[in-house]
Every structure is written in structure tokens, then in C-alpha cells.
Amino acid sequence: MGHDIGDLGELEREVLRLVWRQDRATAESVRSDLAKSLKESTVRTVLRRLEGKGLLTHSVEGRTYVYRAAEARGRAAARAVKRIADWFCNGSVEEVLVGLVDSEVLGRRELQRLADKIAKAKGMGRA
């Protein structure tokens, strides 16, 4: 996955979020869930553009294109955080996480979930 999600336009980001939420999306299902009213042809163009950028894939069911995200939302978010770490913290994801904790962006529940993930990763020999 080479394309940077941070470089997407507002409409492209909204469409990608809708595809993630719907899991399997058609141009019509995306169009009906958009915040603003657009023609289906416009939505199809955005979907094709996202596919061209490697962010979506499609299959054909009957005559309908059914789109799916090329990667899970969490994986895409992780890549975005890595990019931020590279830009601001010399590649230190730990510094980003400490900043999130210090500025109280992460609450108690999120911290516990993160601690559980770390413990699980250690148990699998990944940490």
C-alpha cells in the first residue's frame, strides 16, 4: 500500500470511511450515506480514483461493482501514526504514545486496552 491517506481530499476520505463502515459497498450505498447529495456517477469516479490509488478493490456481482477497502482501517491508521512519528519524533512511536498519554488523549479504558495488547504481544514473543 503505497498511497498516503493523509493526501486524500475531503470527499475521498469520507468515501473511504463509508467503505470501511459498510465493509462491502456499492456506488449507490455510498451515495446514499454521504453527508451531501452527489450524483452516482460522481461517487463512481471517486471510488475508481481510490481504487487507482490502491486503497480499494472491487469485485463484480451481476453488473454491480462491489468495493472493499484494500486494508483494514486500523492498519491504515497505524501507517498514518508511523508517518507522524517519522515527521515529528524521529521515528519514535513510543514518543507519540507518551505524548498521547501526557496530553490525556488516551483515557483509562484506552490505556488498559493498550496494556492488554502489549501483554499479549509479549506472550507471543513480539515485544
Crossing angle of helices 10-22 and 40-52, rounded to 10°: 90
Three cell numbers at 18?
463509508
Instruction: Indicate if the alpha-carbon torsion angle 92, 95, 97, 103 is positive or negative.
Output: negative
pLDDT, one tens digit for every residue, the chain (127 residues):
456 676 789 999 999 999 999 999 999 999 999 999 999 999 999 999 999 999 999 999 999 999 999 999 999 888 888 989 999 999 999 999 899 999 999 889 999 998 999 899 888 876 5
* CB 36 within 8 Å of CB 15: no
In the prediction, which pLDDT does 7 show? 78
pLDDT at residue number 3: 65
How many CA atoms, within 13 angstroms, populate the side-chain half-sphere of residue 127?
12
Q: What is the pLDDT of residue 99?
A: 92
Is the pTM higher than 0.85? The answer reads no
Q: Check residue 127 and give its pLDDT.
A: 56
**Euclidean distance between CA atoms 11 and 46, whole angstroms:** 8
10 Å CB burial of residue 25 (0-12, 13-18, 19+) is buried
- Give per-residue pLDDT as tens, 49-81: 999 999 999 999 999 999 999 999 999 888 888
